Copies of this chain bind each other. A is one copy, B any other.
């Protein structure tokens, strides 16, 4: 309504701007700087500290834009009703603990090979591959040994 200040990081020239606007950059930075995997709601709150007038719609739109552009990834889990978002940066995978719900990053080297195999099987043109391990995290394993159930 009043402030939508600052440049838009113009890149395009023409008129179909479609660029990394200020708000989108803030959303991206929030995601990149967080060590956790945030929900859209948490991203909204964090972005608001910098752009107090940013709206839900803009956060969701930015998230869509960033997802389509490959900057972030959306990961949906049973962990409560909300999607979480994750920087794409260096490719990596996730492990989800079935006891405590913790979501941890890890890297697996042999995924290039895997990508080709999966593309062949699915007949898709592959863009990326992502893998989720479910199991019991080290902490919960320790807890189990301490008090077996």
**Which A positions have Cβ atoms within 8 angstroms of B?**
64, 67-68, 74-78, 81, 83, 93, 95, 97-98, 104, 106-108, 110, 114-115, 117-119, 121-138, 141
- Complex alpha-carbon distance, A118 and B122, angstroms: 22
Given A76-B75, A77-B76, A129 and B124 touching (CB < 8 A)?
no
Given A133-B115, A133-B129, A83 and B74 touching (CB < 8 A)?
no
**Taking the nearest CB of chain B, how far is it from the CB of A99, in angstroms?**
10
Please tell me which one of the listed residues B74, B93, B128, B135 contacts residue A127 in the complex, with CB atoms under 8 A apart. B135
Given A67-B78, A83-B78, A108-B117, A134 and B123 touching (CB < 8 A)?
no
